[in-house]
Each structure stands twice: as C-alpha cells, then as structure tokens.
Amino acid sequence: MKVRDALLAGARGLWLAIFGLVMSILLFVLTVLSICLVVLGVGLVTTPLAVKALRAYADMRRGQAEDWAGVRIPTPYGPARPAPRAGIVGRVEQCVALLKDKATWRDLQWLLVDMTLGTVLALLPAVLLVYAIWGPVLALGVWKPIVRADGTFWFTFVPVTDQFTANLAAATGLGFGVVGLFVNRLLMRGHALLNRQLLRPTRERELTLRVDRLTESRHDAVDSSAAELRRIERDLHDGAQARLVAMGMSLGTIEALIEKDPAQAKRLLAAARADSAEALTELRDLVRGIHPPVLAERGLGDAVRALALRMPLPVEVDVELAGRAEAPVESAAYFAVSEVLTNAAKHSGARRVWVDMHHADGTLRIAVTDNGRGGAGRPGAGAAGGGTGLLGIERRLGAFDGVLGVSSPVGGPTMVTMEIPCVLG
C-alpha cells in the first residue's frame, strides 16, 4: 500500500511540476501582458479571456488538491456576473471589475509561487523515487564509463570514484526510496497546503461570500415557506375542507329525513361516516407532510426507516447517529431524503436504493444511492433531471448552510450526497 501511494504521489508530483510549471508561466505572462495592454485597448478584449482561463486553471488545481491530498480549497470568486453591456463601455466596466477583484491578484501571486517553490515541492516525491532507482543502477557498473569520461561523479553528497563508493551511492539511493515511502504523500499534502494559502478566499472575502449566501438562503427560505403555506391551504381547501362541508350538508339532510325516511337517513349517515374517516385520513397525511409524527417522536433515523418502508422499491437504510439534531435540521434532512427517494422511484428506473446517514466532525452526512439509469441533473432526465427537484432540495438545505452534491453518470449509479452542519444532542 505504501509503495503504491508513494509511486502515485511521485507520478502526480512529476505531472504537477512539468504541466504546472508550463501552465503557470504561460498564464502569468498572458494575463500580465493583457493587463498591460488595457491602456492600448487590446487588453479590454484579452484580459477577461485571460482571467477566465486563469480562474478555470485555478479551479482545476483546487479540485486536484482535494482529490489527491484531501485538502479542500474554497473558491474565492463571487457569483457569475451578468453579460457586460455591448460596446466599449461594457468592456471597460468588465475589466475594471476584474482588476478591482482581489482574487485576480491573488491568483497571479499564486502563479509566481507555483512556478518556483511549488515546482520544487512537487518534484521532490519524483526525485526521491528516481534516486532510489539511479543509485543501484550506478552500482551495477554504469558508474565506470561516467567516471572515466568526467572523473569524479557526485551522487547527491556521495562522490563516486570506485565500486565501493558506487555501492555507497546505491545504499544512499535506496535510503531515499525508503524515505519516499513515508514522506511522498506528506509532500503532496504540503504542496496542496501551499496552494491553499493563496487560492482560498481571504477572511474578508469569506465573510462577503457568506453574507451573500445567507441572503440568498433567506430569500429561498421565505419563498419555500410561502410555497408550503400555499400548498397547505390548497390541500385543506380541496381535500378535508370539501369533505367536511359535504358531511355538514349530509347531516342537515339526515336531520330532515330522520323521521320521514329512516332508511335513507341511515344510508346518508353511513356516507357521512365514510366522509369523516376520509377527511381524518387526509388531515393526518397533511400533518405528516408538515412534520411527520414519527420524526418528532423517534428522530431522523427511525423516520427515514419508516419512509423507506412506504417506498415502492426496496430501500436499505444505514444510520449511525449518536443523538438528535435540532428539529428544523431533522425536518429539512427528512424531506430532502424523501424528495430524493421519490425522484429515484419515479424517474431512475432503479431496482434498489441505499441510504447511508452518519454524523462526523460537526456535519450530518447523508448519501442516497440508486442503481438506476443515471443522468440525474441533465435536461430531460425527469423531475430531478429537469432541475426543479434538486434545486428545491438545495434551497431547503441552503437555509442551514447545507450543501448538495450529485454524481450521476449515464448508465448509473446515481449518488446524491447531502451535508448539513449541526450538533447532535
């Protein structure tokens, strides 16, 4: 395992050193040159393109830092701006906005660091592995023609002049290889941490982005609450209220017929009893849709298990929760899972669904996986694919600083992950 990890870290480090050095130099030169050409007018066209390419490259490196070293680097860029106005005025406004954005200059600083210290740090894992091979190769006799041609040959700090020193070089190289087994992954993590220092948002930027996110979440929460209230009013008006009105009219008719036609009165009374039972069922369903009783009484884990039993396809639920979250968080998580399961049952063509729910590091993590046809999130892929279902879930979770992730390649499987920061009590 260590050998594989060390080799993988060396290969990734070599790729970062070569590709990263080329891209960093290229993007730095292009971006700085475009900014300098703004005064001549050419930069008004090239600067937005150069900055866009720079940010795309920085985002790619953020993703690699998380995938390869487990270091998550938040993006400092704000939401996408609307298309600039046509003409020279729009171009000027776009360039001014990009040049006033501190993230642009921090990205340029990062390119300077990445092409110098970052390249050296990325090369180290590969160098340790190369020395582990080069040392024994020298000891096999390769040292002889080298020494005859150039005299003393230095292998790191070992001067190779004869077979003994060549053997010493081989031992040194193997020592470097052993060191690489233990430090290569740490070096890659150090490289990612170095990138994070400049690629992450500043404290001021984090606060600004958080305020923007909370403002958007508040608007979404207000809209969701209004939509939920309209749904409740509609369900009451079209369901239980209509049945109760009909039952009241039937009771009035029964009162008039109780002495004249007792048989007809009994039939109407039986119908009224059936209406009352249906109205009670609809009210219970409505209450369950607002806040399921099992959720309030037994908690999120048992509520999801009960939900799974009502699904038309097999659902396996794995819950590891050492307590209960606050009621609003449990409610948001429950209805998010319910929406995902409903989408899976209706649109995925899945034969089985798995729900995994656990809490760690102050975050409630839920993963819903199905073995359906995949393609969720694409236009024309059903309710979820069309965006309304997933968007509604994202808005519901966003009110609690939660995030939603979807992995759904064509052909499946589909995995929907939800994370909500919370504390279990």
Other C-beta atoms within 10 Å of 242: how many? 14
Q: What is the mean pLDDT of the chain?
A: 81
Same fold, 216-289 and 298-421: no
> 8-56 pLDDT, tens per residue?
888 999 999 999 999 999 999 999 999 999 888 888 889 999 999 999 9
241 contact partners, CB below 8 Å, separation of at least 6 = none
Domain ranges of the chain: 1-199, 216-289, 298-421
What lies within 8 Å, CB to CB, of 9 at 6+ separation is 125, 184, 185, 187, 188
Supply the DSSP symbol for 39: G
pLDDT at 386: 41
Identify the pLDDT of residue 384.
37
**What secondary structure letter does DSSP report for 293?**
H
What is the residue whose two structure tokens read 């020193």? 165
Q: Is the dihedral of CA 95, 100, 102, 105 positive or negative?
A: positive
Burial 364-396 (b: 16+ CB within 10 A, else e): bebbbbbbbbbbbbeeebbbbbbeebbebbbbb
Cβ within 8 Å of residue 35, ≥6 positions away = 43, 47, 99
The DSSP code for 371 is -
For domain 216-289, say whether CATH 1.10.3470 is its number.
no
User: What's the number of CA atoms in the CB half-sphere (13 Å) around residue 172?
Assistant: 18
Q: How many C-beta neighbours within 10 Å does residue 120 have? A: 11
Low-confidence stretches of the chain (pLDDT < 50) are: 378-387
Q: Which CATH class is domain 298-421?
A: alpha beta
**What's the rounded Cα separation, in Å, for the pair 269 and 247?**
9
> φ and ψ at 8, to 5 degrees?
-65, -40
Coil, strand or helix at 83 = coil
Q: How many residues does the chain have?
A: 425
Q: Which two tokens stand for residue 231?
A: 């749904």
The secondary structure of 160-228 as a DSSP string is E-SHHHHHHHHHHHHHHHHHHHHHHHHHHHHHHHHHHHHHSPPHHHHHHHHHHHHHHHHHHHHHHHHHH
Instruction: Give residue for tokens 């899945």.
Output: 350
Which has the closest alpha carbon to 390: 347, 352, 339?
A: 339
Cis peptide bond prior to 413, omega within 30° of 0: yes
**pTM of the entire structure?**
0.59
Distance CA 114, CA 325 (A): 43
- What is the structure's pLDDT at 375? 75
What pLDDT sits at residue 38?
Answer: 87
